[in-house]
Chains A and B, each alone.
Chain A
């Protein structure tokens, strides 16, 4: 904001004013934890919170109140006169004063209550309720002291709770009055007894629930101071959850009920027992599993060792050999089968084209050719015969002897037909053939060119 840098402001924003007032109110110690008397006007519950106004009992004045995380079991009626404990807050968004309530009490209880509140405040101021003085409650106590009435419900509740959860524990009950005049003294006696005479590890101081006045022993200053002084851790266990007493504030731990106190002192031992059981079970299971898995591992290793042992190697090799030889046989058979089927095919093919077939075929061819030859020869023969016949007939027609018949003759000289005179010498014999015989003659003479 620009304004932040201005030293003297001329004007305020509303928010600046309201937040300034809020700071003022918050810083004022007097406005912390105040007690207000008044009449409740229109109490309304919104969610977990109770809103109402507190009206002054004498004058006309009102203030808004809010009780956050209001316990719905408490009854707050319209018109009820109450004592409210709370702090003043300034609600900057609305610019109003509100009381943030932490406790609300019916004023009917009167002075007693106011006195108690003052005592509470005093003890608180002294630091008796301070967290820094709280002793740690032992988690595994074996000895427990209870300061209460042996006739009350509280002692039974505590015992029942303890022994239902955990058996191995010693309980010492210091019987005392828990209400009435002597109660504060007797309660103190009990706390002293355990601190000085009978050491225990933790003390439970308490009683069952009751009316406000019945619980007053546990609001007694002496009792509160005795608890504060106790060297042994103290658990306060008074009444019901909604009852609050001063011993609750001073004790090292407040149990909401006696039963709850019983639970607190054995909860860890009970849990420890359960845990022990669980750990035992787990360890057993895990070791069994481990052993089992180691066994499995061993088996596996042995198996692998066996697998890799020489004898096994041999066996394996033998197996390999077997396998390979059977494979080989198989393949050979396959091959053989293949070859034989090939052979069959070849045989088939061969049988179709083999020498015998070829021979047969040749023989056939030969026979065919022979036939054809014969035929051809026959034809040729017949043709020649025919020609010959014709020639013979021609010959017959041309026979010189036939010519002789017509008066012609043929002269032969030296077995040759004589066609020229030049070859004939005087005195030569010549033969002349005529149609019905021959005539031998001697040459007397020759002349050439003796044509007529």
Chain B
């Protein structure tokens, strides 16, 4: 949780920084070295953000109380099998 919160802040910052990088790259009088440096940073950041966004795989878990016990069932591959259709 703590880790993830830190990640989240990092993620937001990374997105902000990315936006800045794109803006800087749009500058006409930016020299090539700087542009390449920025581009590399941007690619790294976008990879980082992408990793964060994809750090978790799709997963659906159903928690039910059966006989006074909580039971967790992974129903990712059969969502609607795990979720009844009747109201």
Contacts and interface: CB of A to CB of B under 8 A. Distances in A.
A140 interface: yes
Contacts of A175: 62-65
Contacts of A282: 22, 25-26
A269 B61 contact: no
A163 B59 CA distance: 10
Interface string A290-326: 1100100000000000000000000000000000000
A433 B15 CA distance: 176
Contacts of B19: 279
A332 interface: no
A279 B22 contact: yes
B87 interface: yes
Interface string A248-290: 0000000000000000000001001101100110110011001
A140 B56 contact: no
A173 interface: yes
Interface stretch (A54-62, A80-88, A191-199, A380-388): A191-199
Given A279-B22, A283-B22, A193 B63 contact: yes
A294 B63 CA distance: 60
Interface in A130-159: 138-140, 142-143, 150-153, 155-156, 159
B56 A283 contact: no
Contacts of A142: 4, 55-56
Given A287-B35, A290-B35, A272 B49 contact: yes
Contacts of A272: 11, 15, 49, 53
A393 interface: no
Interface string B31-67: 0100110010011001001101111111111111100
Given A272-B49, A283-B46, A294-B32, A168 B57 contact: yes
Contacts of B18: 275-276, 279
Given A276-B50, A286-B26, A151 B85 contact: yes
Contacts of A150: 62, 64, 82-84
Contacts of B26: 282, 286
A284 to B, nearest CB: 8
A238 B61 CA distance: 22
What's the interface size class on B, roughly?
35 or more
Contact of B1 (A197, A199, A208, A269): A199
A438 B4 CA distance: 194
Contacts of A198: 63, 72
Given A139-B12, A151-B87, A193-B63, A170 B56 contact: yes
A174 interface: yes
B82 to A, nearest CB: 7
Contacts of A171: 59-61
A398 interface: no
Nearest to B59: A170
A279 B63 contact: no
Nearest to B32: A294
Name the residue in A153, A159, A168, A186 with the highest tally of chain B Cβ atoms < 10 Å from its Cβ. A168
Name the residue in B32, B53, B64, B80 with the highest tally of chain A Cβ atoms < 10 Å from its Cβ. B53
B11 A189 contact: no
A169 interface: yes
A286 B22 contact: yes
B4 A174 contact: no
Contacts of A140: 8, 11-12, 52-53
A167 interface: yes
B25 A287 contact: yes
A157 to B, nearest CB: 11
B57 to A, nearest CB: 6
Contacts of B60: 159, 170-171, 173
Given A150-B82, A170-B56, A282-B26, 8 more contacts: A142-B55, A159-B79, A170-B59, A170-B61, A173-B61, A279-B21, A280-B46, A286-B25
**6 tightest Cβ-Cβ pairs between the two chains A and B:** A151-B84, A286-B25, A170-B59, A142-B56, A287-B39, A294-B32
22 contacts: A142-B55, A150-B64, A150-B83, A151-B86, A168-B54, A168-B58, A170-B56, A170-B57, A170-B61, A173-B61, A173-B63, A189-B65, A197-B70, A201-B1, A275-B18, A276-B18, A279-B18, A282-B22, A283-B25, A290-B25, A290-B30, A290-B35
Interface of B: 1, 4, 8, 11-12, 15, 18-19, 21-22, 25-26, 30, 32, 35-36, 39, 42-43, 46, 49-50, 52-65, 70, 72, 79-80, 82-87
